[in-house]
Structure 1
Amino acid sequence: MKRIVVVTLLLFTTLLLVACGPTQSGFNQGSNITVYTRDTTSGTRAGFMEGIGFKDATANDSLLVQGFVIQDNTQIFTSMQTDVYGIGYVSLSTLNSQVKGLDFEGVAPTVANVLNDTYGLKRPFMYMTRAEGDYPSETVEALVNAFVAYLGTTDASDIINNSGAIALPSTATWDDIKADHPITNQDNSSVTVRFGGSDSIQKVAEALTNAFKPKAGNFIAEHDHTGSGDAFKRTWDPAIKDTSVGKDVGFSSRYFTTSEIAGSNEDNIGQLAWDAIVAIVHKNNPVSNVTAQHLKNVYNGTFKTWNDLITAQA
């Protein structure tokens, strides 16, 4: 009888270690989850929180788990390369094999799945330009107008898709419309056009301007991306737009807010692409799929350890 009790205790201890202790890869499921997020002005945060059913946390840090870490898109991606017990989220255009991108509701985060509308965590890539006549020069304004027109071409669609975002449907080529923008035929190598806003869009924006510059007189594209909240501020806010940080084109990885639209002109606003948001973890993390409820429970503190999440998936 005593031997049976001992064997039973050993079996129970083994099961407990399997459930809460290290796995074969050395991942300790009993470790606390380190939660990474973006700041409250981030379009990525807005899209992520809305996508997991936690919209109230978009602009309210007090609703998040205690001890969360705020970082930008690049910092979160870098952190997941070293923080074995961390979880964060980034733009699909940032994702590569250095971290593990998690499936969402059983669907892999791929361009194809965003286009066929099976991947649920997606958000728009938007742009905003300065008001008509409110540019450093007529040349800059004409170049911005040409660039916006370029965004609607198949030439730009190829660049957008190759940069990890998802282009909107288009049929016109740049050759079809370039005659409408004679500014692109002159030497613009001394002209600077300033781009900013969402850092999630920076990779796509830089690829687009690099492709467009040779088509538009080789103007200088100055990129300074500090977050979606600055797209409006640096192109339309009277207190900021004409300072040294003012921009000619601002990008947002979310829809512009009611107050932003009210303070600007809808004729100067448009969408250039779709993007997916991906929950990411360290490559040694055994988790491969999460649901909206799982992520909400992580971010609101219901799940405190990785074992909490893994057990919920069983």
Structure 2
Amino acid sequence: MFKKYLVALFVLCGLSSSLMAENIYPISREMGSGTRGAFVDIFDVKKQIGNKKIDATSKKAEVTNSTGVMITTVANSKNAIGYISLGSLNDTVKAVKIDGVTPSVENVNNKSYTVFRPFNLAVSSNNELVNDFLAYIGSNLSKNIIQKAGYIAIYDNEFSSAKPSGKIVVAGSSSITPLMEKLKEGYKLVNPNATIEIQQSDSTTGINSAIEKIADIAMVSREFKDNELKSGLKTQILALDGLAVIVNKENSINSLSKESVKKIFTGEITDWNRVK
């Protein structure tokens, strides 16, 4: 309502409302999101407080609670900018180059695109079914699924399922969830005796669920924190994933420097005319 009032005021004063269209609307993920944690680390969106560096995302940034909401929000707002998993990218938004390099699996592989993070798993259960599923995830059978989904597979082991029965609960990152759904479908083809329940939330919630034994496997789309590594959970890398900085398709911006992205999300740069 306040924004509409300002636009009306500009028009009444004989000023073009297009002046306001240059404002940047940064969109961030919620605290606890692994994607946010990885983004903040990679782009150094931090400030020094005592001996620690903490998340310095601008309080003016709109917060979304999932990858899907992030994409929809940017797609519907001409001046919005956000960030998502490269594997989640679709044609409703535009991914910008970072320091002149296009975000792609090929460029992550050849290390020219440096904006990427691991998709991690944290495991609380040690039973035949969980171990069989983890072996499948690290096998040649899952490699094509991972790569087709737009991620980078790092394993290529031979696999033959022992077909154990039971139920696995997998919880955590909304960025990893779509890939995990595909792996679940693939695993069911080789082991129809298994039931896999996937609970989408965020990385921190997933980790806590695994620590509390509510989930057998946590999906974590960032690096593990020291206290999480000391929790006794077994860890495994699922895949590597590029992060894509996204803007509305009508935005003329095609490339941004890492420094500009940092300044946008800390609130230092607030209009597109200042972007490099």
TM class by smaller structure: 0.7 to 0.9
The residue aligned with 1:192 is 167
Shift of 1:163: 1.1
Aligned amino acid, residue 250 of structure 1: A
Match of 2:12 in 1: none
Corresponding residue for residue 61 of structure 2: 68
Number of aligned residues? 257
Selected match of 1:258 from 191, 211, 226? 226
* Deviation beyond 3 Å, 4+ runs, structure 1: 55-61
DSSP 3-state at the match of 1:304: coil
- More strand per residue: 1 or 2? 2
SS in structure 2 opposite 1:149? helix
Equivalent positions of 1:35-184 (< 5 A) are: 35-56=26-47, 60=54, 63-71=56-64, 72-132=66-126, 141-170=127-156, 172-174=157-159, 178=160, 182=162, 184=163
Distance 2:123 2:170 in 1: 9
Structure 1 segments unaligned to the other structure (5+ residues)? 1-19, 23-27, 133-140
AA partner of residue 201 (structure 1): I
Q: Deviations over 1:171-208 (max 9, x none)?
A: x322xxx2xx53x1x6x4xx332111111001111111
The equivalent residue for 2:11 is none
Amino acid at match of 1:227: D
Letter in 1 for 2:170: F
Residue number in structure 2 paired with 1:229: 204
Alignment-mate amino acid for residue 155 of structure 1: L
The answer for the alignment partner of 1:302 in structure 2 is 268
Structure 1 residue 107: deviation in Å?
Answer: 0.7
Q: Which amino acid aligns with 1:90?
A: I
Say if 1:192 and 1:220, in contact at 8 Å, map to a contact too.
yes
SS of residue in 2 equivalent to 1:298 = helix
Aligned to 1:33: 24
When normalised by structure 1's length, the TM-score is 0.77
Give the superposition deviation at 1:81.
1.1
Secondary structure class of the residue paired with 1:235 = helix
* d(CA) in 2 for partners of 1:77, 1:221: 27
Cα RMSD after superposing both structures = 2.2
Secondary structure of the 2:39 match is helix
The SS at the match of 1:120 is: coil
